[in-house]
Structure 1
Amino acid sequence: MAQPTVSPKGKKSVLSTILSWTIPALALVIAFNTEAKAWAIRGLMEVGFFQLHMSADTAVAALPEATAAEDVVFRDGSGNSVSLSSLKGKVVFINFWATWCPPCRAEMPSINTLYNKFKDSSNMVFIMVDVDGKYEQSNRFVKQNNYNFPLYVPASAIPSSFLGNAIPTTVVLNKKGKIAMRHEGGADYGSAKSEKFIQSLLND
């Protein structure tokens, strides 16, 4: 008995039907799933979007006019507090984030990459701040994703010069405790440009 065949036109129709259902379904998943959104944003980062437009030379030149860091206190999971005033003489990378925030999740791998490049420097400090103050929840997320950067929650008010109405927000302080960079929104911090910028502050 002859086997039924599908004409090229029929194959195209089947493929078109599959795509007409698959694409909207994928869009819905991305729209309503935090991790799916993060995955989509991370993919855009990998092809060159969300790049930081910063020049080490420009940033260093602008430092004398940078805003002085107000004293802010953060607390780790063991209850130990760290104040920014105690970190003068070091370069401080501060990231404000939350587990429910897709762009926060998207930039985490790149921040972890940057952290691992500089974690052995005695003059470099990373402070990853869960703005919701839910240390246990954020710590579970960090461990599940095998990140090894240090995690904190706020232990004082966060000034608007650091954190406005958007997360993620990243603030980098120079050794004088002044704001050398402030960026709202997700970004790729694992790039050579980011590494060069941090190194320029360490060398200053």
Structure 2
Amino acid sequence: MKKFILSIAIAITSLAGFAQEKKFENPNSDSRGYLVKVGDKAPDDFELILQDGKKTTLKELRGKIVVLQFTASWCKVCREEMPYLERDIWQAYRGKGVVLIGVDRDEPLEKVQKFHQDMKISYPLALDPGAGIFQKFADKKAGVTRNVVIDREGNIQFLTRLYDKEEFGKLVNVVDQLSKN
């Protein structure tokens, strides 16, 4: 009986801690840390400075399907996902009006350039000093890897978090469907 009561006390304490922890999360973010949701107009009030010095904006990319991959060189899961993004999105769809840009969270140019080279990817990486671009899409404390699929009109069509083969397959299907419209 004492073990049972102790187990219940531990469970209640754990739930109280969980509730306390939840109280301090951003009330505008979803359970995966996103501040945006499918169907929203994508934030587009920022400039993407690519690792090769070129610049672009989501407004300039309107009319194309855009996949933003939030990443960082220190992220093991990002590194796992990047070859699939290269092959299954960038190489497969770039001639079909699809743009893939990795947005590197808060790392200097030299590190981003080395990361790009080390990963042997051909899609561009953009700088995100201070994670300002990241924070337009996800809570500051939320992690990378995540992908945001934006349609030709600038609306968010799909969101991913971490790398999951099944979810990644859905991402590819969404890009495929959008590319046919």
Alignment of 1:31-70 (within 5 A): 66-70=39-43
Who wins on radius of gyration, i.e. which is larger? 1
Q: Which residue of 1 aligns with 2:95?
A: 120
Deviation at 1:197, TM superposition (A): 1.9
Q: Which residue of 2 aligns with 1:198?
A: 175
Structure 1 consecutive aligned stretches of length 4 or more whose deviation exceeds 6 Å: none
Checking the alignment, whether the CA contact within 8 Å between 1:75 and 1:153 is kept in structure 2 is: yes
Checking the alignment, whether the CA contact within 8 Å between 1:110 and 1:190 is kept in structure 2 is: no
Checking the alignment, whether the CA contact within 8 Å between 2:109 and 2:127 is kept in structure 1 is: yes
CA distance in 2, matches of 1:113, 1:190: 16
Q: Give secondary structure in 2 for the equivalent of 1:89.
A: coil
User: Which runs of 5 or more structure 2 residues have no equivalent in the other structure?
Assistant: 1-36
Checking the alignment, whether the CA contact within 8 Å between 1:162 and 1:182 is kept in structure 2 is: no
Checking the alignment, whether the CA contact within 8 Å between 1:107 and 1:188 is kept in structure 2 is: no
Deviation at 1:161, TM superposition (A): 5.3
Deviation at 1:109, TM superposition (A): 1.1
User: Which runs of 5 or more structure 1 residues have no equivalent in the other structure?
Assistant: 1-62
- In structure 2, the CA distance between the partners of 1:92 and 1:130, relative to structure 1 (3 Å rule), is same
CA distance in 2, matches of 1:195, 1:159: 22
Checking the alignment, whether the CA contact within 8 Å between 1:110 and 1:188 is kept in structure 2 is: no
Q: Percent of aligned pairs with the same residue?
A: 24
Q: Give secondary structure in 1 for the equivalent of 2:147.
A: strand
CA distance in 2, matches of 1:189, 1:119: 22
CA distance in 2, matches of 1:86, 1:70: 13
Among candidates 109, 126, 135, match of residue 109 of structure 2: 135
1:182 maps onto 2:163 in alignment: no
Q: Which residue of 1 aligns with 2:63?
A: 89
Deviations 1:135-157 (A, max 9, x none): 32132122223221111113793
Checking the alignment, whether the CA contact within 8 Å between 2:51 and 2:112 is kept in structure 1 is: no
Deviation at 1:159, TM superposition (A): 6.1
**TM-score relative to the length of structure 1:** 0.60
1:163 maps onto 2:173 in alignment: no
1:73 maps onto 2:47 in alignment: yes
**TM-score relative to the length of structure 2:** 0.67
Paired AA for residue 157 in structure 1: G
